[in-house]
Amino acid sequence: MKKDAETTHLRRVSHWKLYLLIMLIAFGIVFILSLNLGYAPIPFRDILIILTKQIPILENLVDASNITQTAEVIITQIRLPRVICGALVGAALATAGAAYQGIFRNPMADPYVIGASSGAALGAALVMVLGIGVSLLGVNTLQIMAFVGSLITVLVVYTIARVGSRVPVTTLLLTGIAASLFLSAIVTFLRTIASDQILHGLTFWLIGSLAPTENWDKVWAIFPFIIVGAVIAYMYSRDLNILALGEDQAQHLGVEIEKVKRILLVSGALMTAAAVSISGLIGFVGLIIPHLTRVLIGPDHRVLLPTSAIVGASFLMICDALSRVIMGSGEAPVGVITALSGAPFFIYLLRRKRKGYAV
Amino acid sequence: MVVLTIDGIDCSYGSVDVLKDVDFEVKSGEFLGILGPNGSGKTTLLKSISRVLQPHKGTILIDEKNIYGMKSVDVAKQLAVVPQSTPVTFDFTSLEVVLMGRNPHLPRFKMESKEDLAIAKNSMKLTRTWEFADRPVTELSGGERQRVIIARALTQEPKILLLDEPTTHLDISNQLEIMDLIKNLCETKNLLIAAVFHDFNLAARYCDSIILLKEGKIVAVGKSEKTLTSENIRKVFSVDTIVKRHPVTGFFHVIPISIPLNQQQKTLSIHLISGCGTGSPVMKLLKDEGYFVTAGVINLLDTDQEAARLLNIPTVSEAPFSPITEEAHAANLNMISKANVLVITPTQFGDGNLRNLEAAETALKEGIPIILLENGPDEKRDFTNGKATKYLTELENNGAVIVKSNCELLQVLDNLEKKNNKNLHQKKET
C-alpha cells in the first residue's frame, strides 16, 4: 500500500521536533552520566542535588546536608566546566562539519578542511616551543594564539582562493589542503627542536584533549563564539539545502551564493577556532557526526544542523568520559577515543546504506 | 505579460570575449530557441540572463528593470532555469527538491506552508513526477530527474523559463514528452521560454523564433522558418544541409549533407543523363569532388530533379510524366555541348526519355567522351522494346567507357581532368 507523498512529507517534517526532543533527553542523560564518571566516586543522587542547588529558585527545595564540600567543588568547579566544554566543542565541530559538507557539497569535508586545524596547531606549537605561555585575565596565550592562528589561516586560504568576486569551492578545498601541508611542515619542524617535556604536551594537544578545560574561564572564553556561530549557521540552513543542487541553481533560486558561502565559512571558522583553542585538534567529530545525523533524520539542514550539534555534544561527552576512566588514574587523549570509537561505527554506517537516506 | 530585453550585451570569461553586442527581445508566450556551434556563447548567454555571469557592457531587462540591479530573490520570482543536468549531493526526496522552488517566495525563517505544498504538488502532477515524490532524487533516472527539476522551476511560479539543452541526455520519447510539456506551458500559462538547443529538428519543431549565434554574435534572428535556412546554417555551422518541410509531421527538418570540403574547383565540366533517383548520389559525389555538374533532361518530381535543385546543379527539366519536347531536347544538347564529359547513370529508359540517348549519340559524334555507369544488363532497364539497348550498345561500340562503380568513375574522371589541365596549360603557353 503506497502512502501519499504529501502525508509522508508532512509527517516527516512534524517528526523533526520529536527527534530533537529525544536527542535532547539523551543529551541530558549523557550529561549527568559524564558528571558521575571520574576518579572520585560521587553518587547520582548527590550530583542531582548539587546541580539543583546551583539554580537559585530551586536551591531551598533540596536537602544538601549530606553533601561534602569536596564533592560540591569537584562537581561545580572541575567536572561541570569540563563536561560543558566537551558539549560545546562537540556541538561546534559537528555543526561546522555539517555546514562545510553542505557548502563544499562533499562528504569528505570537515571543519579542518580549509586550514583551521593546522593554523591553530602552528599557533599552539609556537607558544609551547618558544615558551611564551602566560595567562592574561584568565585566558592564556596558548589559547589566544591557537584561536588567532586558526582564523588567520582560514582568512588567508579564502583570500588566495578568490577569483574576482567569486570563491570556487574546489579551489578553496585545494588551497586549504596546500596551506595545511605547509603549516604542518612548520609544526613538524618545531616538534623536532622541542624538548621531551614540551613535545609530550604538544603531542597531547595535537591529538586533542579536554583535560585543560577544568575551569569556568574556558567555558566563558568559547561560549559566545560557538553560540553566535551556530545561530548564524542555522539562519542559513535553507540556503545550504538549496546548495545541494549546485551553486548555479542555488543562484537561480535566489540564494546569493557568494555572500552565503562567506557567512557560513566565517561562522564555521569561528566555531572551529574557539573549539580547538581550548581542546586541541579533536578529530573525527566534525566528519562523522553530520553523516550519522543525516542517516537518522535526512539531509534537510534546518533539522540537520541543530541535531548534529546535540549529537556531536553527546558524542564528545561520552568520549571524554571514557578517556577519563579508561586508563584508571591516568587520562587518554579524547582525540584517540573519538577516532577509535568513531571510525568502526562510520564504516558500519557506510556499509549499511539505509534505504531513503544514504550517507 | 512580461518582456525580456537583451540590450547590446558583451560578456567575457576573464580576458576571453564570449558574447559581442547581443541584442534581442522576447515576450510572454513566445518560445525562443538559441542555436549555435560549440563555444558560440549559447550557454554564456543563458548564464548572463540568469544573473550568474554579469555582462561588462549592455543591460538585461525584465519589464524595463535591470536584473543586475534587482535582488536575487526578486529575479528568482520571475525567472527560473532548467540546466542540462543536475547532480544532487544529498538524498533529498523529489518533493523536497521541488519545494526548494518556493525559496524566493519564503521569508528566511518560514517553513513551507500548505499552499506551498499545494503549488509543488500541482507542478509535480503536471510533469508526471508526483508518483515518485517520496523517492530520493539520487535514485531517479535522467529523464525523471529532469522532470523533477522542471517541476521545481515551475514551483518558482516564474514568468520566464530558461532551458539549457534540457533534453540532451534523454532518450527520444523523454525528449518529446518534455518538449511537449514545455511547449504546452508556453501556450497555456503564457510563459516566456528561451531554450538552448543542439538539435535543429527539435528547435524547428517547437520554437516560434530562433537566434543563430556564431562566435558570440547573432548571425540570424527571427521566425523559425525564416532563420533555419540551409544558407544560414552553412554560415554558422559550415555544414551543408537540406531544410524542408516534412510531409508527415509538417515540421521543418534539417538534414545534414556534408561538411563542405575545401576541394579545389576542378576544370572539368560534367553533364549527367539520369533519372529515377539514379543520378542523386552521383551528383553529390561529383559536387564534393569539385567538378562543375549539369544535368538533363529530367522530369520534374523526379528525385534526381529535387537533388539537382538542392545541390544547385543547372538542369534542363521537363513536365512530370511527359515525353521530352523539342525545346527541352535542344536545351539539353546545348548544355551537353558546353560539357567536357557526359556521364550516363543506370536509369530506366522509356519512350519518354529515350531522346536523352539520342542526345548522347550526338555528343559522341561531336567528340565528347561518354562514361556509362552500369550495374546490370541493359535489357532489364529498357522499356522501349530494345531501342534503348540498341543506343547503349552503339555508344559502347563507338568508344563510350563503361565503369562499374563510383570509385572507377572517379578514377576515369581524374585521368580526364589531368588531360584537360594539360591541354589548358598548353593553350596558355601558345
DSSP sequence for A138-168? TEEHHHHHHHHHHHHHHHHHHHHH-BTTB--
Mean per-residue pLDDT, A197-206: 90
List per-residue pLDDT tens for chain B, 430 residues long. 899 999 999 998 877 888 999 999 999 999 999 999 988 999 899 999 998 889 999 999 999 999 999 999 999 999 999 998 888 888 899 999 999 999 999 988 888 899 999 999 999 999 999 999 999 999 998 889 999 999 999 999 999 999 998 888 788 888 898 899 999 999 998 999 999 998 888 999 999 999 999 999 999 999 988 898 888 998 898 888 888 888 888 888 888 887 766 667 888 999 999 988 899 989 988 888 889 999 989 998 888 998 888 888 999 999 988 899 999 999 999 999 999 999 999 999 998 899 999 999 999 888 899 999 987 777 788 888 888 889 988 888 888 899 988 899 999 999 998 888 888 888 877 7
- pLDDT class for A355, splitting at 50, 70, 90? very low
User: What number of other Cβ atoms are within 10 A of residue B366's Cβ?
Assistant: 11
Q: Are B170 and B143 in contact (CB under 8 A)?
A: yes
Flag if A252 and B87 touch (Cβ within 8 Å).
Answer: no
- In B45-150, which ranges are E strands? 57-62, 65-66, 79-82
What is the percent of chain A where pLDDT is above 70? Answer: 95
Q: A118-167 pLDDT, tens per residue?
A: 999 999 999 988 877 776 666 688 889 999 999 999 999 999 999 877 88
- CA quadruple B143, B144, B146, B148: dihedral, nearest 10: 170
User: Which of B89, B94, B150 would you mutate first to test chain A, the one with the most A CBs within 10 A?
Assistant: B89
Q: A278-336 pLDDT, tens per residue?
A: 999 998 899 999 998 988 888 999 999 999 999 999 999 999 999 888 877 778 889 99
Provide the number of CB pairs (under 8 Å) joining chain A to chain B: 95
Locate A100 and state its grid cell: 562545510
Q: Across-strand partners of B402?
A: B372
What distance in Å separates residue A84's CA from the closest CA in chain B?
29
Chain B CB contacts of A165 below 8 Å: none
Q: Are B168 and B135 in contact (CB under 8 A)?
A: no
Chain A CB contacts of B51 below 8 Å: 251-252
For chain B, the residues whose C-beta falls within 8 A of a C-beta of chain A are 47, 50-52, 71-77, 79-81, 83, 86-93, 95-97, 100-101, 103-104, 106, 108-109, 111, 117, 121, 130, 133-134, 136, 138, 156
Is residue A354 predicted with pLDDT exceeding 70?
no
What distance in Å separates residue B417's CA from the closest CA in chain A?
59
DSSP sequence for A18-71? HHHHHHHHHHHHHHHHHHH-SSS---HHHHHHHHHHHSGGGTTTS--TT--HHH
Q: Are A83 and A320 in contact (CB under 8 A)?
A: yes
Flag if B91 and A6 touch (Cβ within 8 Å).
Answer: no
What distance in Å separates residue B190's CA from the closest CA in chain A?
21
d(Cα B103, Cα A6) in Å, to the nearest integer? Answer: 18
Chain A CB contacts of B104 below 8 Å: 253-254
Flag if B72 and A255 touch (Cβ within 8 Å).
Answer: yes
User: Which of B91, B160, B164 would you mutate first to test chain A, the one with the most A CBs within 10 A?
Assistant: B91
Chain B CB contacts of A294 below 8 Å: 90
For chain A, the residues whose C-beta falls within 8 A of a C-beta of chain B are 3, 5-6, 8-10, 13, 105-106, 235, 238, 241-246, 248-249, 251-256, 294, 298-300, 302, 356-358
Flag if B156 and A253 touch (Cβ within 8 Å).
Answer: yes
Contact residues for A41 (Cβ-Cβ < 8 A; gap 6+): none
| Among the partner residues A6, A242, A356, nearest to B103 by beta-carbon distance | A242
- Please name the residue of chain A whose CA is at the shortest distance from the CA of residue B139: A356
Crossing angle of helices A334-351 and A285-297, rounded to 10°: 40
Flag if B108 and A238 touch (Cβ within 8 Å).
Answer: yes
Chain A CB contacts of B101 below 8 Å: 253
- Please name the residue of chain A whose CA is at the shortest distance from the CA of residue B118: A6
- In B350-424, which ranges are E strands? 370-373, 401-403
Whether ipTM tops 0.85, in short, is yes
Q: What is the helix (H) or strand (E) element at residue B8, kind and residue range?
A: strand B3-13
Flag if A254 and B103 touch (Cβ within 8 Å).
Answer: yes
Flag if A249 and B86 touch (Cβ within 8 Å).
Answer: yes
Flag if B91 and A252 touch (Cβ within 8 Å).
Answer: no
Q: What is the value of pTM for the model shown?
A: 0.82
Chain A CB contacts of B95 below 8 Å: 5-6, 9
Flag if B72 and A13 touch (Cβ within 8 Å).
Answer: no
Q: Which residue has the cell 553518587?
A: A43
Report pLDDT for A10: 83
Is residue A356 predicted with pLDDT exceeding 50?
no
Q: A59-76 pLDDT, tens per residue?
A: 777 777 777 888 888 888
